Structure 1
Amino acid sequence: MEREELAAWLRLAMTPGIGRIGARRLLATFGLPQRLFDASPEALAAGAGPVAVKALESEPKGWREQVDLTWHWLQADPATRRLLTLADPQYPQAMLQTEDPPLLLFAQGQPVHEWPRAIAVVGSRNPTAQGRIHALQFGRTFAQAGLTVVSGLALGVDGAAHEGALDGAADGQLATIAVVGTGLDRVYPSQHHELAHRIAERGVLLSEYLLGTPPLAENFPQRNRIIAGLGLGTLVVEAALQSGSLITARMALEQGKDVFAIPGSIHSPQARGCHALLKQGAKLVETAQDVLEELAPQATVQPAARIAPSEQPLLRAMGYDPVGLDALVARTGMSAASLQVALLEFELQGRVARLPGGLFQRIEQG
């Protein structure tokens, strides 16, 4: 992309009062932004209307500075940094099929000549121990089956899904896509600096927001339409009733895509959003294989082996909800001392998590 072309796209994106819908209408009428800004006042008035003409006649505030910032950002690492416009042949085709595709997509990471089949995985920023393990395991299995995992780089489920995909992806495979709500020159949350670096090495970071954009609350629900748009379907691992994950699920449904939800304990606030989705017709899943079987007609995926249930009596007695020591004594007939030893061993193996309040939870997938 030449600097003049970059400047025209940024000017269109930054012009107040135009918006994404208005910008797409102008592009449909005039073609590329350079033609729009080169058009005569008479042509603009005929094709854009008086409101758009007035908005377009002045340079947006901060536009020249943004052109400089973006140009230097792109030139600093042209092998991994790109600005994808609606006119770019490398723009994700899946987004072009949605009602509200971004005008621009800043991308950092592996070059993508053809966007792969993907599954969106979203959920709570404060998941249970089991929820985090689910996100990790589902993300890993999806990657092993050849799907790219899309999520939002948030704490909790999002981060775990990205990590699982990075662990499960084969060499050369686009492991995961992180769609963020800030400019790509910053990482939010800051705890995910290392994870973002790993994604840039083996996946892609995407944002529709200009460089320098801070983490504004109103941007995150907007970016969720991109997460939903890039996936063949959306899996919700855990979610409260009022959460961004349910926004993503709604957007996926509006795009005519499948929504999957993992059920949880009726006592867990993090499960209520998933249960609400299931009541509304989302597909209940217990394993990653359930999702892969549903998506098989749309994507070539490798089958994932089901995990055999554990034969450990203690693990069977625990179930998958948090449970206290006294309840386990009653269920198993074991002494408290013997249970403490067995639970410690399972904890060291990563099969049981110790929770606040003297509770334990099984975190292996059975």
Structure 2
Amino acid sequence: MERDELAGWLRLSTTPGVGRGAARRLLAALGLPQAIFAQPPAAWRSCVTPAQAAALARPPETLEALLEQTWAWLQDAGEPARRIVTLGDAAYPPALLATEDPPLLLYLLGAPQFVHAQGQPFAPQRCLAMVGSRNPTAQGAQHARQFARALRDAGLTIVSGLALGVDAAAHEGALQASADPATPATIAVVGTGLDRVYPRANRELAQQIARHGLLVSEYPLGTPPLPANFPRRNRIISGLSQGTLVVEAALQSGSLITARLAAEQGREVFAIPGSIHAPQSRGCHALLRQGAKLVEAAEDVLEELQPGGAASPRPASVAAPEPAPATHRHQEVLQALGHDPLGLDALVARTGRDAATLQAWLLELELDGLVARLPGGLFQRLGAA
């Protein structure tokens, strides 16, 4: 991209009061940004309101500084690699282009072989979005990692939002897989400029993604983590993907926004059921009542995403890994725990054992990866324990 071309795209995308819809109308009618701004304002009024035409006639005050910053960012030849893909670029993801509201610009940061791929950096691999609660149960976080790893091993690229909780676990699971390195392990769609990482706790994870996949944003460099940006970026997460798998979600959550957007975009929606007592499961149960496909194993997703009826590659193991063998006394505790979080007092009542003995056994189960200790003094079984 030449500097003048970049200036035109930045001016079009950052002019106050001119949204993506108005910008796309101008592009459809008048061509690329340089051609648009070569026209007199009278030519714009067939596509935008008089107020928008007046705004377009005045370059934003921040344009020159943003242009300098962005141009310098693009010129950095080190790793990770950088690129901007515009709505008029042949490399723009076809799946996203087919949605109702595609972004004007996509900023890419990641492994050079993906960022600088000839033609289409998002093809030919298939993409699956995985989203869920920022405060998942221990079981929910484990599900996210296990499913992401299995689905990545089956050839899918996992798309998520780099948030805490399920998003981070999904990215981590995909990065742990041993799938073909010729395709991105995972794609993180973020709600800030790519010169920032939010949340900061995921900085190391973002660096790993940049080495083995892609970070994507529609927001200019320097954009802070504004609350309105995160629901808006969800349409990109679903739009890049053939389907969206919701691992855990409360009834009022951004994950359900992503699922709704996926359905509106004509994509598959999947949900993992959970405990009827867990608030994080209610969103998934609502999706299942609305027709989402119930998922118990990775095969449930793969059979829906087979391209053209061809057989999908199968992961070596798509179910939860087998836990370490439990002793007889541990089986007694696990049976009493059930599959919902439970406090020590309730476990004492169910087993008849004293609290000190149960605490010792629970610690052993924790160390074996069979039980997780939750906030509030609760315990929960993990995996197929």
Q: Normalising TM by the smaller chain, what interval? A: over 0.9
CA distance in structure 1 between the partners assigned to 2:199 and 2:376 by the alignment: 28
1:129-167 deviation line (CA, Å, top 9, x unaligned): 111111111111111111011000001110010000000
Residues 146 and 169, structure 1, Cα contact 8 Å, conserved in 2: no
CA distance in structure 1 between the partners assigned to 2:194 and 2:357 by the alignment: 52
TM-score (norm 2): 0.88
Aligned to 2:314: 303
CA distance in structure 1 between the partners assigned to 2:376 and 2:73 by the alignment: 49
Alpha-carbon offset, residue 289 of structure 1? 2.1
Q: Sort the Cα spacing of 1:163 and 1:53 in 2 relative to 1 into closer, same or farther, 3 A.
A: same
Aligned to 1:212: 222
Choose which of 136, 139, 144 in structure 1 pairs with 2:145: 136
What root-mean-square deviation, in Å, do the aligned CA atoms of Structure 1 and Structure 2 show? 2.3
Residues 174 and 185, structure 2, Cα contact 8 Å, conserved in 1: yes
Residues 193 and 220, structure 2, Cα contact 8 Å, conserved in 1: yes
CA distance in structure 1 between the partners assigned to 2:321 and 2:177 by the alignment: 20
Aligned to 2:27: 27
TM-score (norm 1): 0.92
Choose which of 318, 322, 334 in structure 1 pairs with 2:341: 322
Residues 154 and 313, structure 2, Cα contact 8 Å, conserved in 1: yes
Are 1:53 and 2:63 an aligned pair?
no
Gaps of 5+ in 1: none
Aligned to 1:75: 75
When the two structures are aligned, how many residues end up with a matched partner?
Answer: 366
Moved more, 152-161 or 83-92: 83-92
Residues 98 and 229, structure 1, Cα contact 8 Å, conserved in 2: yes
CA distance in structure 2 between the partners assigned to 1:356 and 1:39 by the alignment: 62
Residues 169 and 175, structure 1, Cα contact 8 Å, conserved in 2: no
Are 1:157 and 2:176 an aligned pair?
no
1:249-280 deviation line (CA, Å, top 9, x unaligned): 11001011111111111111111111111111
Aligned to 2:183: 173
Are 1:354 and 2:363 an aligned pair?
no
Residue identity opposite 2:374 in structure 1: L
Moved more, 94-103 or 270-279: 270-279
Q: Sort the Cα spacing of 1:55 and 1:169 in 2 relative to 1 into closer, same or farther, 3 A.
A: farther
Choose which of 234, 244, 247 in structure 1 pairs with 2:257: 247
1:98-149 deviation line (CA, Å, top 9, x unaligned): 0000000111002243312111010111111111111111111111111011
* Matched position secondary structure for 1:61: coil
Q: Sort the Cα spacing of 1:95 and 1:338 in 2 relative to 1 into closer, same or farther, 3 A.
A: same
Alpha-carbon offset, residue 308 of structure 1? 7.8
Q: Sort the Cα spacing of 1:33 and 1:337 in 2 relative to 1 into closer, same or farther, 3 A.
A: same
Residues 132 and 247, structure 2, Cα contact 8 Å, conserved in 1: yes
CA distance in structure 2 between the partners assigned to 1:208 and 1:202 by the alignment: 20
CA distance in structure 2 between the partners assigned to 1:330 and 1:214 by the alignment: 51
* Matched position secondary structure for 2:58: coil
CA distance in structure 2 between the partners assigned to 1:240 and 1:45 by the alignment: 44
Residues 188 and 215, structure 1, Cα contact 8 Å, conserved in 2: yes
Choose which of 132, 135, 148 in structure 2 pairs with 1:126: 135
Alpha-carbon offset, residue 238 of structure 1? 1.0
Alpha-carbon offset, residue 319 of structure 1? 3.1
Aligned to 1:96: 97
1:297-353 deviation line (CA, Å, top 9, x unaligned): 468632233458777544455332112445556666777666444432221122211
Residue identity opposite 1:363 in structure 2: L
Question: In percent, how many aligned pairs have the same letter?
Answer: 62
Residue identity opposite 2:223 in structure 1: T
Residue identity opposite 2:76 in structure 1: A
Moved more, 165-174 or 140-149: 165-174
Residues 119 and 233, structure 1, Cα contact 8 Å, conserved in 2: yes
* Matched position secondary structure for 2:216: strand
1:162-195 deviation line (CA, Å, top 9, x unaligned): 0000001433431000000011110000111100
Are 1:87 and 2:88 an aligned pair?
yes
Are 1:276 and 2:276 an aligned pair?
no
Are 1:345 and 2:379 an aligned pair?
no
Residue identity opposite 1:142 in structure 2: L
* Matched position secondary structure for 1:206: strand
* Matched position secondary structure for 2:270: strand
Choose which of 173, 176, 193 in structure 2 pairs with 1:183: 193
* Matched position secondary structure for 2:244: strand
CA distance in structure 2 between the partners assigned to 1:78 and 1:37 by the alignment: 33
5 Å-filtered alignment, 1:194-273, equals 194-273=204-283
Gaps of 5+ in 2: none
CA distance in structure 1 between the partners assigned to 2:99 and 2:67 by the alignment: 28
CA distance in structure 2 between the partners assigned to 1:278 and 1:47 by the alignment: 42
Q: Sort the Cα spacing of 1:41 and 1:263 in 2 relative to 1 into closer, same or farther, 3 A.
A: closer
Alpha-carbon offset, residue 40 of structure 1? 3.9
Aligned to 2:36: 36
CA distance in structure 2 between the partners assigned to 1:78 and 1:64 by the alignment: 24
Q: Sort the Cα spacing of 1:85 and 1:336 in 2 relative to 1 into closer, same or farther, 3 A.
A: same
CA distance in structure 2 between the partners assigned to 1:142 and 1:308 by the alignment: 14
Moved more, 84-93 or 106-115: 106-115
